Chains A and B, each alone.
Chain A
Amino acid sequence: MTERRDHADVEQRLIRHGAMLRTQLASRSLAPTVLGAIGDLKAERPSSLPRRRTRRIAGLAAAALVISTSTAWAISTLVFDGGPVTVHREPAPQRPVTRELDLGEPISLELARSLPTFVEPDVSWIDDPPTAWLDAKAPGQLSLTYPPGRALPEISSSGVGAVIQSFDGDGAEAIRKYLTNGTRVERVKIDGADAVYLYGGDHLLFYLEADGGYAQAPGQVVGNALIFRHGTLTVRIEADLSLGQMVELAESLRASGD
């Protein structure tokens, strides 16, 4: 009987203290500090480890060329630095690759249009609505796929007509592309910004983890592609189109509501 009364007394005191503590906690606002810390975190890794490593390799290469032109292994492989998307020459990593598209999860076009990475082309020769995909493998990677049609020849590697991928351009390197022997590179301007057009042969695409290592997902074999900065975004268009059509497509990109 006494023990039960003691229990009840302790319970009452705990409940009273709990109410006091929770009142204190309820008045806290964590969002400003948390978002500030996340902002600091992003600022600390603007170019990400892999790119720093690439630049270091480039520096080594310059020195090595002075010493001996035969040390070809040391030549920088970086062809284009598009923020989250970089393009390198071979040698590509010895990792499994697939021809299957892996763009993440399908989402509604309505949801896609509400995202800050959404862009869509505004050209008369594309009528069909796209399918939207969101992938957590790369930060903010939003993809639109268009079915093949009269103006969009089927891409042999994936079976779609066109893929338009957009990324948060301030993010760390998330996709690394390697040119294969047959791939040719042409540097162009899209609305005044540097761009690269990869054509003439399939190339390889690998996802990177946040720590710079290769992701578990297999690499992908991809066809002709144009990669460029679009405002705060980095955009990759994959389609079996001429350079002129690719540029027209790229320059027509609009954000939702534009």
Chain B
Amino acid sequence: MVDEDLALVVRALTGDLAAYGALVTRYQFDALRVAAAIAGPAHAEDAAQDAFVRAFTALRRFDQDRPFRPWLMTIVANTARNHRRSSRRWERSTVDEEALRHCVTPLAATPEEIVVQRQGDRQLFAALDRLPRAQRDVVACRYLMDLSEDETANVLKIPRGTVKSRLARGLTRLARSIGQESSDD
């Protein structure tokens, strides 16, 4: 895979756009997941697209002795941070009613369950939005985007131990936040 990446990078450097298109296709899902974890799913596509364009313009500076994917993901993460600065909230852009409907329906047996589950979804995203950003990033990377601990540490530029501690604190805070909201209802 690494050799294939390098061959595509070399071809892209010669102006072969189809080769770069192959790299985009190969890593678009990874890029979207990283962008979604940091900037929120609604901004993921824009951020990932920007990142791929930036990576292309920076391709001459890519060290061909190193693997392409981590280099690309660093650009994606940085670009997503810029997009996040221009959008104040993660949660608002995340709640896609239509998507929730499609998602929830097969998992819920009755109309009552659907209503309860949707309410829970909103609670969850609202609670995510209230988390400190550092914890939210880790929770989003690990649970929502299914990145490994190493990938999360690499993308967020934090040690692996910090990933674990922030994740534990984030989950505790989420559970308390949701529990409190439920008892208020």
Q: Interface residues, chain A, CB within 8 Å of chain B?
A: 3, 6-7, 9-11, 13-18, 20-26, 28-31, 33-35, 37-39, 41, 105, 107, 111, 114-117, 134, 136-137, 139-140, 142, 168, 170-171, 210
Shortest Cβ distance from A214 into chain B, in angstroms? 15
Name the interface residues of B3-21: CB closer than 8 Å to any CB of A: 7, 10-11, 13-17, 20-21
In the complex, the answer to whether A6 meets B179 with C-beta atoms within 8 Å is yes
Q: Which of chain A's residues have a CB closer than 8 A to the CB of B36?
A: 21, 25
CB distance from B153 to the nearest CB of A (A): 18
Q: Are A116 and B139 in contact (CB under 8 A)?
A: no
List chain A residues, Cβ under 8 A from B171. Answer: 7, 10-11
Q: Digit string of B54-73 for contact with A (CB within 8 Å is 1, else 0)?
A: 00110111101000000000
Q: Does B15 contact A38, Cβ atoms closer than 8 Å? A: no
Our count of residue pairs bridging A and B at CB distance below 8 angstroms stands at 140
Q: Tell me, in angstroms, the Cα distance from A6 to B178 when the chains sit together.
A: 9
Among B7, B13, B25: residue with most chain A CB under 10 A: B13
B181 in the interface (beta carbon within 8 A): no
- Which residue of the partner chain B has the closest CB to A4? B175
Contact B17 A35 (CB under 8 A): yes
The answer to whether B10 and A30 touch across the interface, beta carbons within 8 angstroms, is: no
B residues near A137, Cβ cutoff 8 Å: 60
**In the assembled complex, which residues on chain B have CB atoms less than 8 Å from the CB atom of A30?**
24-25, 28, 31-32, 45, 48-49, 52
Please tell me which stretch of B80-88, B141-149, B156-164 contacts chain A, meaning at least 4 of its Cβ atoms lie within 8 angstroms of it.
B141-149
With beta carbons under 8 angstroms apart, the residue of B53, B94, B178 that contacts A37 is: B53
* Contact among B56, B145, B146, B174 for A38, CB-based, below 8 A: B56
- CB-defined contacts of A139 to chain B, threshold 8 Å: 13-15, 60
The answer, among A22, A33, A107, A117, for a CB contact under 8 Å with B49, is: A33
Complex CA gap A20/B146 in Å reads 12
